[in-house]
Structure 1
Amino acid sequence: MAGLIAQLRAALPHDGGVLTDPDVLRSYEHDEADLVPYGTPAVVVRPRTTGQVSAVLRAAGRHRVPVIPQGARSGLAGGANAIDGAIVLSLVGMNEIIDIDTENRIAVVQPGVVNAQLRRAVAEVGLYYPPDPGSWEQSTIGGNVSTDAGGMCCVKYGVTSDHVLGLEVVLASGEVLACGRRTAKGVAGYDLTSLFVGAEGTLGVITEITVRLRPAPEPSLTLVAVFDTFAAAGAAVSAVVGSGLQPSMLEVIDRVAMGAIEAYRPMDLPTAAAALLIASVDSGSRAPDDLAAIAAMCRSAQASDVFVAADEAEADALLAARRLAHVSLEALAARLFPGGGGIMVDDVAVPRTRLVELIEGIERISAEHGVVVATVGHAGDGNLHPVIVIDRSDPVSIAQGQRVFDAIMALGLALGGTSTGEHGVGLLKRDWLAREIGPTGLKAHRSIKAALDPDNILNPGKIF
């Protein structure tokens, strides 16, 4: 490794460009996924330019050393986990917003730009970048692109791939590929841009991203509906989606998650209720009528109460509650299992017409196994996040949690769904991807991987 590290130092001579301190290396070992394996890298590199990324990959190829691309390590599937002896390629230092083109409504950014940084920058010129994963204050655009991240606005505005126009990608060979476009439309050649979006760093390292922007939306109106059963909340979602209305947000929080949020940060949530549905509309002059129609559908689905946010501050507080779900459930696990509490975060999506069946199935699986499962999610697009609470210090608890996880995954696929709606496959769901796409699908994946990364140095072992 001494020769490799010397080459890396020559290619990245700036301070902090090459890190070898063992304590520092350990901080780059894994993302936020519990209970998936990880190793200790031999070295961490922090490039600032595409040329430096290219030099790293050329050196790695010569020495046949694996390269693990990383962003903010906020992922939930182990896709950024290191392996022993690898090069971790941290892209957080490539954090420049290169261009905001207001006339063409596009932005060009480096992969280390944080999602919230881009959203705020374009908002200053009256534009909007919609994808908003729960980790938007931490996660990077490069990581969002690599996992095709979603968020609370997906029900109306779609996921990251719906907003990516073009990419600059460094291939395993060190060659630099430009794909996609800056134009509003274009169909020249294969859609290589879409190939790299969601590839989780297994096909190339993304070094520049061109994204589509939208005009800033109208101010949102928000309501909260309270339900005595989780299935009733699902029925309300089905009614809203089937009505043709287009809410900008339609989120659900169950009783367990509400209790965890309230314990973490008290905000007078109705913790005795089975479920909370948060709906927003940003349809301008139609917004009051649209929100009234959604309220009526919630009441028809037996909502016990419907509250309309009095102002933007109250609406923002409701959104903050939803964004607190992950950290609140981590705190719940710590309380339930002092010294060993952990969570397994699922990410199953089904056709929206099967949402009630998924909700009822999750409740049944939790009861059958006697395992605490909290469910939150993007109900408007059929994407739920069941969160399984386990004791990481107890092998029996881990095994029970894994059985619950697998049962929920099997249910989702049986309902015509997918193993991941927005978190990616990583290490967590490799077996489930294989079941979902079948032998022919796996063969196609492996063929593409072999064509672009014949020595299998880019994030090996991830996805499949």
Structure 2
Amino acid sequence: MDTSVSTRPTAAVLEGARGASVTEQDRLAASTDRSGYVSPSLPDGVVFAESADDVVAAVKLAAAHRAPLVPRGAGTGLAAGAAAKSGEVVLDVSRMDRILRIDPLEQLAVVQPGVLNADLNAAAAEHGLFYAPDPASTAICSIGGNVATNAGGMRCAKYGVTREAVLALQVVLADGRVLRTGRETIKGVTGYDLNALITGSEGTLGVVVEATLRLRPMPVATATVAAFFPDFATAAAAASAVIAARVQPSLLELIDGQTLEAIDMAMGTDYRSKGGAFMLAQTDGYGAYLEQDVLIEAIRPYASSFEKATDAEHANELITARREAIPSLEKLGRVSIGDIGVPRSKLADVAVGLDEISAATGVRIFSVVHASDGNLHPMLVLDPEDSVTEGPAKQALGEMFHLAKRLGGTLTGEHGVGILKRDWLLPELGEVSLDVQRTIKNALDPDGILNPGKGI
């Protein structure tokens, strides 16, 4: 059988679409993301869209020829949601990177999907505003991908995840029509909430070409605390104590001891010498320092030591250590990042369970945690030749999900399902929920051309 690209439905897209590339370099880059997943083959090509019209044209070509399209932004996903293989064309929107408008009065921004999260925040800061969702990869991840996965980050416990920040979207549907969802008002309940449907749909229902996003005023004050604990389980118990104290931190992050060691090796710091686990906490607003006092009293019985940040530079150093956790681990091997969520009172139970999974599978597991909303990122560090999708790594990922489920939690808190987590959808969602989701998918994409094999 002839399997050359020229005989496939994708050939018509690559021949007719503006910005198409079939170079091996572009195809290789588009075959994977930061999840550690290795595609079995390369996509047939990449279409680099530079405008909404380019996206519409490419989607219409794909629809006419029933050619599979994989939407892609910055490629920083952690579930292989934008990974592609032979027989597929990647629709790359990373060049659509303009901030179209910032409205300081209405506190909103209108952006293209390729705008980087950090660039939006830098532009908003000029008006005394900020964009709340802030994944650890804020410097390199794009708004389109944030919308696709309903990304969260360190500030989401107080300010909400991407869904709470999306006011309106422009989305190219699988037949090339442009759907406008939402509005520029804070409130609006006319019709079904299509914003919420598209946000988190992982490119399976449409391609986002524009987003109207809610901005927030910069806090008048921010108070930062760093604390160290004998071990991860004790730090998790301290985090639960903070929640029980009814404090609303804008940041409450945990890092386990072996991740601290990796950060020290990469950054030349000495965090691990201070304890077996680290907590980074921030409170903000007019009551920032009052809340900080309550938070300190909550963690005092558990902490080996703690310190208040002396100034903004000191606080930024501590935040940088948290943001550098994943890059630091990537220096040790191939990293596969888990994304489970549990009730916040169960964080210490998860810490114990992860140790047991590591011992049983022989897989090294490093953990960082958004403790204020119970979202853990257990990270597997593998040898470069080890597979993420089979063997001990797959077993460890499965055991993590079953651990979260036993504790009343979820398979994924913010990274999405992509390719890596499909095997565990049914146990969490149930057949009725999956059937409803398939019905929605079939209604909007009857030929299944948008990001096939992902999400559901």
State the TM-score, normalizing by the size of structure 1. 0.93
Displacement of 1:364? 2.3
User: Equivalent residue for 2:148?
Assistant: 146
Query: CA-to-partner distance for each residue in 1:151-188, whole Å, 9 max, x for gaps?
Result: 11112111111100111000010011111111121101
User: Equivalent residue for 1:125?
Assistant: 127
Query: CA-to-partner distance for each residue in 1:272-294, whole Å, 9 max, x for gaps?
Result: 6221011011122x222221221
User: Equivalent residue for 1:72?
Assistant: 74
User: Equivalent residue for 1:336?
Assistant: none
Contact 2:37–2:388 at 8 Å: present in 1 too?
A: no
Displacement of 1:39? 3.1
Distance 1:145 1:42, change over 3 A: same
**Larger CA deviation: 37-46 vs 68-77:** 37-46
Contact 1:30–1:38 at 8 Å: present in 2 too?
A: no
1:173 to 164, 172, 175: 175
User: Equivalent residue for 2:432?
Assistant: 440
1:30 to 29, 32, 50: 32
**In 2, distance between residues paired with 1:389 and 1:93?**
32
Which residues in structure 2 correspond to 1:189-268 (within 5 Å)? 189-268=191-270
**In 1, distance between residues paired with 2:212 and 2:389?**
45
2:114 to 83, 107, 112: 112
**In 2, distance between residues paired with 1:41 and 1:370?**
34
Contact 1:389–1:401 at 8 Å: present in 2 too?
A: no
Query: CA-to-partner distance for each residue in 1:302-326, whole Å, 9 max, x for gaps?
Result: 2110111111111100110001111
**Larger CA deviation: 309-318 vs 370-379:** 370-379
**In 2, distance between residues paired with 1:64 and 1:95?**
28
2:402 to 410, 419, 440: 410
Distance 1:376 1:348, change over 3 A: same
Letter in structure 1 aligned against 2:330: E
Letter in structure 1 aligned against 2:263: I
2:382 to 390, 409, 421: 390
Contact 1:255–1:272 at 8 Å: present in 2 too?
A: no
User: Equivalent residue for 1:99?
Assistant: 101
Letter in structure 1 aligned against 2:135: P
Which residues in structure 2 correspond to 1:277-296 (within 5 Å)? 277-284=279-286, 286-296=287-297
SS in 1 for 2:298: helix
Q: Percent same amino acid at aligned positions?
A: 45
**In 1, distance between residues paired with 2:186 and 2:392?**
50
Letter in structure 2 aligned against 1:310: T
1:352 to 344, 356, 367: 344
Displacement of 1:368? 3.3
User: Equivalent residue for 2:421?
Assistant: 429
Q: List alignment gaps of at least 5 residues for structure 1.
A: 334-341
1:61 aligns with 2:63: yes
User: Equivalent residue for 2:363?
Assistant: 371
User: Equivalent residue for 1:314?
Assistant: 314
Displacement of 1:343? 2.0
Contact 1:281–1:290 at 8 Å: present in 2 too?
A: yes
Distance 1:262 1:4, change over 3 A: closer
Q: List alignment gaps of at least 5 residues for structure 2.
A: none
User: Equivalent residue for 2:324?
Assistant: 324
**In 1, distance between residues paired with 2:377 and 2:220?**
28
Displacement of 1:262? 0.2
Distance 1:36 1:195, change over 3 A: farther
Displacement of 1:24? 2.5
Displacement of 1:430? 0.6
Query: CA-to-partner distance for each residue in 1:36-64, whole Å, 9 max, x for gaps?
Result: 53531222111122122111111111111
Contact 2:80–2:419 at 8 Å: present in 1 too?
A: yes
**In 2, distance between residues paired with 1:167 and 1:122?**
19
SS in 2 for 1:322: helix
SS in 2 for 1:349: coil
Letter in structure 2 aligned against 1:311: D
SS in 1 for 2:271: coil
**In 1, distance between residues paired with 2:68 and 2:78?**
21
**In 2, distance between residues paired with 1:137 and 1:361?**
32
SS in 1 for 2:304: strand
Displacement of 1:123? 0.8
Contact 1:31–1:73 at 8 Å: present in 2 too?
A: yes
Contact 1:391–1:398 at 8 Å: present in 2 too?
A: no
User: Equivalent residue for 1:339?
Assistant: none
Distance 1:9 1:400, change over 3 A: closer
**In 2, distance between residues paired with 1:247 and 1:108?**
28
Displacement of 1:35? 3.6
**Larger CA deviation: 224-233 vs 420-429:** 224-233
User: Equivalent residue for 1:338?
Assistant: none
**In 2, distance between residues paired with 1:275 and 1:65?**
49
The number of equivalent residue pairs is: 450
Letter in structure 1 aligned against 2:316: D
State the TM-score, normalizing by the size of structure 2. 0.95
**In 2, distance between residues paired with 1:405 and 1:6?**
39
Query: CA-to-partner distance for each residue in 1:336-361, whole Å, 9 max, x for gaps?
Result: xxxxxx22210000111222211221
User: Equivalent residue for 1:454?
Assistant: 446
Distance 1:222 1:456, change over 3 A: same
SS in 1 for 2:90: strand
